[in-house]
């Protein structure tokens, strides 16, 4: 065989290999959707019957007759009257934590109703483990499981004498472990606490109780889990499954609000899974099974934790599918661990004392000094990053807003749309100041549904509970806001969140904050157009309009013709992102 033929053969093989490696998942062809009920959330055209999608974007929208001109040579889908909405945007979620918790033993109130059910289930699960194997559980919550006795180290040692055990609270701010776990990570009663707000609880004799508060103290255990359990294969498969579940619930965009990782490997995975196109090297790795094969996944935008700032790029990239968009800090903690920072103390109740371990007359406290927060805001605003601050309590939010005001006296911080996350207690005065600073809240509405009764009767009292989550007040001040489930604390189900914001009822059907009810239309906007605005993507996603990406969902019922009590039962039939159906 001549050298020229060999060379041609090598070139042909190289070309074919490059083509096969570079080949992405099958994309939808240009498609005309007709005879639908399109609720566009676009103020210039509120309803439509048809859209034409070309190369992932909406080229045209209108009546079926108007768009008949696109029929020739294109795929045509007759929706037969089905209702279509813009894809939902989960404005505050945790993809990494959701993947981490994906296969844990579920001890939550969603699965178990009594104290006995919880602990009997755990004991049965321990029997299935080999000696020395980790026992990892999620969902411990004395509010969702009425009468639940929170564990201590003696109890956990008794039921799991041969295995390290970890229990994660529903709020993800508290953890419980046994002696085997402490021994595995070399934590003793003499181990110093990382900070005043993150610690290893001790009894009156100075002995470990098994309770761990907040992320810093939990880090050694998380790092050990990464070595023992959370292998690359596990995390890859779990992340793929997690992103798919978001999409099946109607979320076409997911925002990770403060990602807890120690290196950029997960970021490379997220980029591979969500970007419009993956790089050649990643495609090669996927070809050889070292990365997952790509399918259509939700857009994924991230806020990096303040203590992981080394993961921030020099500048924000120009990517509409995957991007790091900001940085997150925490000013207070959780209402259910006593770390929410309040103007007035928590109630003095047996529940707060014995179930939530909140000291008498405690008002919580700030996790950082206000001056440190001011410097943090100035530093990252100057670098061009959007800032998100976790704040639950009324005093916390007042202090956070004051820090932004101080920063604004030196640097114009009004252009970045900085955010406050969760916003359980937020006064009208605080909201007015947020409006002046062009800040935006994201409300954790599930506080009301799942914890409203406990907040009212046991934790903060009825008067304050009536003032939680002032969504309509924000609306009347013309503040753009979003709502979220804080997955994995609660599964990201948009229609459930909207129903709660409209009804303002707890799971026990008690009403809290009746005068803060919002309309269905504005509930939908909170999860779409407003959420897009919060992440500076309102010109590209959030509504159905010419030139925007074809991110939409087909649902089984028209929400405007469904009773408010049944909104949570609406099912997502199909989800489309960039014009491609999520499989």
* Predicted local confidence at residue 15, as pLDDT: 43
Contact 75, 84 (CB under 8 A): no
Q: How far apart are CA 545 and CA 404, in angstroms?
A: 35
The strand pair at 75-78 and 135-140 is best described as unpaired
Q: What angle do CA 62, 68, 69 make, to 5 degrees?
A: 105
* Predicted local confidence at residue 2, as pLDDT: 62
Q: How far apart are CA 53 and CA 44, in angstroms?
A: 19
Structure-derived torsion over alpha carbons of residues 61, 66, 72, 73, reported in degrees to the nearest 10: -10
* Predicted local confidence at residue 4, as pLDDT: 59
Kindly tell me if the per-residue pLDDT of 562 is higher than 80. yes
Quick one: which of 65, 64, 55 has its CA closest to 29? 55
* Predicted local confidence at residue 32, as pLDDT: 98
Instruction: Convert the pLDDT of each residue in 23-67 to its tens digit.
Output: 687 888 999 999 999 999 998 888 899 999 999 999 999 999 999
* Predicted local confidence at residue 263, as pLDDT: 86
Q: How many residues does the chain have?
A: 583
Q: What angle do CA 105, 111, 114 make, to 5 degrees?
A: 105
The strand pair at 174-177 and 135-140 is best described as unpaired
Q: How far apart are CA 460 and CA 349, in angstroms?
A: 10
Instruction: Convert the pLDDT of each residue in 218-268 to its tens digit.
Output: 999 989 998 898 888 888 999 999 999 999 999 999 999 998 788 888 999
Percent of the chain with pLDDT over 70: 96
* Predicted local confidence at residue 3, as pLDDT: 59
* Predicted local confidence at residue 25, as pLDDT: 79
Alpha carbons within 13 A on the beta-carbon side of 4: 0
Q: What angle do CA 578, 494, 241 make, to 5 degrees?
A: 60
For residues 444 and 101, the model is more confident at 444
Contact 106, 139 (CB under 8 A): yes
Read off the pLDDT band of 16 (50, 70, 90). very low
Q: How far apart are CA 333 and CA 424, in angstroms?
A: 11
**Considering the chain, what is the average pLDDT of its residues?**
93
**Coil, strand or helix at 137:** strand
Q: How far apart are CA 207 and CA 484, in angstroms?
A: 39
What are the phi and psi torsion angles at 81 (to 5°)?
Answer: 85, 0
* String of DSSP letters for 250-282: TEEEEEEEEE--SSSHHHHHHHHHHSSS--HHH
Contact 227, 284 (CB under 8 A): no
So where are the chain's domains? Answer: 109-169+174-213, 331-518
* Predicted local confidence at residue 327, as pLDDT: 97
Cβ burial 62-95 (10 Å sphere, 16+ → b, else e): eebeebeebeeeeeebebeebbbbbbbbbbbbbb
Instruction: Convert the pLDDT of each residue in 391-426 to its tens digit.
Output: 999 999 999 999 999 999 999 999 999 999 999 999
Q: How far apart are CA 479 and CA 89, in angstroms?
A: 18
Same fold, 109-169+174-213 and 331-518: no
Average pLDDT over residues 110-131: 95
Contact 430, 399 (CB under 8 A): no
Phi-psi region of 73 (alpha: psi -120 to 50; beta: other; left: phi over 0): left
Contact 460, 503 (CB under 8 A): no
Instruction: Convert the pLDDT of each residue in 460-515 to its tens digit.
Output: 999 999 999 999 999 999 999 999 999 999 999 999 999 999 999 999 999 999 99
CA distances to 238, 403, 475 from 273, in Å:
12, 37, 35
CB-based burial label for 35 (10 Å; 0-12, 13-18, 19+): middle
Q: Does domain 109-169+174-213 have CATH number 3.60.60.10?
A: no
What fold does the segment set 331-518 form as a domain?
A: TIM Barrel (3.20.20)
Helices (H) and strands (E) in the chain, counts: 19, 24
Contact 239, 267 (CB under 8 A): no
Read off the pLDDT band of 5 (50, 70, 90). low
What are the phi and psi torsion angles at 394 (to 5°)?
Answer: -65, -40
Q: What angle do CA 156, 157, 163 make, to 5 degrees?
A: 95
Percent of the chain with pLDDT over 90: 82
* Predicted local confidence at residue 194, as pLDDT: 92
* Predicted local confidence at residue 13, as pLDDT: 44
Residue 107: which residues within 8 A CB-CB, separation 6 or more?
118, 121, 122, 137, 138, 139, 140, 167
* Predicted local confidence at residue 18, as pLDDT: 42
Read off the pLDDT band of 217 (50, 70, 90). very high
Q: How far apart are CA 200 and CA 207, in angstroms?
A: 10
Average pLDDT over residues 72-83: 97
């Amino acid at each position: 065989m001549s050298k020229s033929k060999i060379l041609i053969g090598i070139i042909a093989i190289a070309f074919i290999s490059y083509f096969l490696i570079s080949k992405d998942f099958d994309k939808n062809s240009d498609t005309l959707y007709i005879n639908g009920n399109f609720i566009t959330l676009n103020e210039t055209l509120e309803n439509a019957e048809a859209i034409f999608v070309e190369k992932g974007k909406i080229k045209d929208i209108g009546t079926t007759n108007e768009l008949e001109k696109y029929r020739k040579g294109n795929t045509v889908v007759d929706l037969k009257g089905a209702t279509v909405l813009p894809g939902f945007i989960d404005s505050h979620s945790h993809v990494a934590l959701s993947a981490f918790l994906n296969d844990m033993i579920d001890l939550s109130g969603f699965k178990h109703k009594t104290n006995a059910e919880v602990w009997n289930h755990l004991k049965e699960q321990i029997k299935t483990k080999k000696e020395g194997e980790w026992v990892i559980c999620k969902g411990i919550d004395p509010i969702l499981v009425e009468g639940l006795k929170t564990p201590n180290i003696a109890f956990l040692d008794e039921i799991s004498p041969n295995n390290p055990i970890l229990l994660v609270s529903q709020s993800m701010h508290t953890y419980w472990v046994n002696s085997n776990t402490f021994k595995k990570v070399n934590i003793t009663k003499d181990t110093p606490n990382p900070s005043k707000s993150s610690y290893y609880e001790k009894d009156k004799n100075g002995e470990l109780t098994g309770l761990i508060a907040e992320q810093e103290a939990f880090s050694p255990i998380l790092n050990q889990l990464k070595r023992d359990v959370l292998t690359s294969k596990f995390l890859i498969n779990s992340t793929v499954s997690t992103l798919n579940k978001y999409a099946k619930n109607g979320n076409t965009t997911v925002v990770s609000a403060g990602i807890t990782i120690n290196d950029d490997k997960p970021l490379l995975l997220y980029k591979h899974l969500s970007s419009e196109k993956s790089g050649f090297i990643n495609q090669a790795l996927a070809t050889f099974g070292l990365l997952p094969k790509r399918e259509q996944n939700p857009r994924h935008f991230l806020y990096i934790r303040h203590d992981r700032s080394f993961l921030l790029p020099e500048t924000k990239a120009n990517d509409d599918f995957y991007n790091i968009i900001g940085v997150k800090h925490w000013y207070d903690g959780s209402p259910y661990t006593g770390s929410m920072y309040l103007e007035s103390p928590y109630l003095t109740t047996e529940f707060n004392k014995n179930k939530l371990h909140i000291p008498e007359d405690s008002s919580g406290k700030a996790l950082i000094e206000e001056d440190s927060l001011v410097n943090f805001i100035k530093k990252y605003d100057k670098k061009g990053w959007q800032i998100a601050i976790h704040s639950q309590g009324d005093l916390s939010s007042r202090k956070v807003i004051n820090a932004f005001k101080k920063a604004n006296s030196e640097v114009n911080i009004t252009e970045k749309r900085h955010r406050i996350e969760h916003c359980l207690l937020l006064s009208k005065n605080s909201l007015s100041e947020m409006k002046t600073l062009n800040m935006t809240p994201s409300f954790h509405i599930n506080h009301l549904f799942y914890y409203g009764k406990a907040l009212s009767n046991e934790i903060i009292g009825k008067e304050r509970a009536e003032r939680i989550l002032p969504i309509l007040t924000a609306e009347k001040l013309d503040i753009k806001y979003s709502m979220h489930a804080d997955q994995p604390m609660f599964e990201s189900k948009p229609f459930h969140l909207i129903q709660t914001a409209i009804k303002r009822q707890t799971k026990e059907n008690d009403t809290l904050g009746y005068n803060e009810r919002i309309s269905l239309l504005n509930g939908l906007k909170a999860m779409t157009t407003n959420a897009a605005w919060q992440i500076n993507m309102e010109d590209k996603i959030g509504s159905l309009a010419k030139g925007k990406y074809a991110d939409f969902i087909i649902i089984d019922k028209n929400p405007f013709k469904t009773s408010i009590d049944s909104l949570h039962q609406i099912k997502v039939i199909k989800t489309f992102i960039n014009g491609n159906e999520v499989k």
